[in-house]
Amino acid sequence: MGPRCHFVHYGLRGGGLLNQVAVFESPKARARREDWGTPDELTEAFARTCEFVRGGLPHLWREKWWRMYDRDPIGTWVDGRLALLGDAAHPPLQYLAQGAIMAIEDGWVLAEHARRLRVAGGTVDWTAVLAAYQAVRPEHCRRVVLTARSWGELWHLDGIEREHRNAFLRARAVDDYSFIDWLYGPTALFPEDEAAMFEPVSLDSISV
């Protein structure tokens, strides 16, 4: 994490490929009243990061880059026999890496309710299945989409806010997952099974 930027890398294909992702905000684009930076701004955007990260930048493929979009959560995904799922229902920013996860969970929840609501003769009560899906998924995904936004803001902080964030993170135990237990716990099939969210902490309350 750095001011207005972050860098992620992880192994793929059993360690045969190292995937690197560089994300930055572009002051130049803002000055041009455009939303998006370009690959040639990348080195400058990471100028204040540590040597290890700067050392990785020349190895990035720069011809592939993504604009970042999300959308305000919507509460209604079902209309008659039509249901939204995946990005069509809840496109998130990438900070929690949950876009595909939510799509898979949507499919699983639909399938589980279809299995549960199979009526005599093997037919499925689709009205009840879609109602059960609508009852549980929009709220979970609303939390993910909105938390992903604030996660990104937290990562990119600068100045005194960055100092507060770093002091807060340094004080935490490395095996304390209480801020993400709600995300990585079992997928809820019913609203009452949805895990409680964490209590937000005000950065101003952290001493540096």
Alpha carbon separation from 167 to 33, 53, 153, 178 (Å, rounded): 34, 21, 16, 18
Can you give the binding site for ligand FAD, defined by CB under 6 A? 66, 86-88, 94, 97-101, 103
How open is the CA angle 190-194-198, to the nearest 5 degrees? 170
* Cβ proximity to ligand FAD, 129 vs 145, nearer residue: 145
**Minimal distance, residue 66 CB to ligand FAD, in Å:** 5
* Cβ proximity to ligand FAD, 97 vs 180, nearer residue: 97
Please choose, from the candidates 98, 75, 2, 88, the residue with its C-alpha nearest in 3D space to the C-alpha of residue 44: 2
**Minimal distance, residue 65 CB to ligand FAD, in Å:** 9
Q: How far apart are CA 114 and CA 125, in angstroms?
A: 7
* Annotated catalytic residue 10: yes
**Minimal distance, residue 21 CB to ligand FAD, in Å:** 7
* Cβ proximity to ligand FAD, 53 vs 145, nearer residue: 145
* Cβ proximity to ligand FAD, 65 vs 168, nearer residue: 65
**Minimal distance, residue 135 CB to ligand FAD, in Å:** 20
Alpha carbon separation from 171 to 164, 167, 176, 206 (Å, rounded): 11, 6, 11, 10
- Residue 36 is encoded by which pair of tokens? 């998006």
Grouping H, G, I as helix, E, B as strand and the rest as coil, residue 14 is helix
- Residue 141 is encoded by which pair of tokens? 């995904």
**Contact between 208 and 164 (Cβ < 8 Å):** yes
**Contact between 37 and 20 (Cβ < 8 Å):** no
The catalytic site residues sit at 10
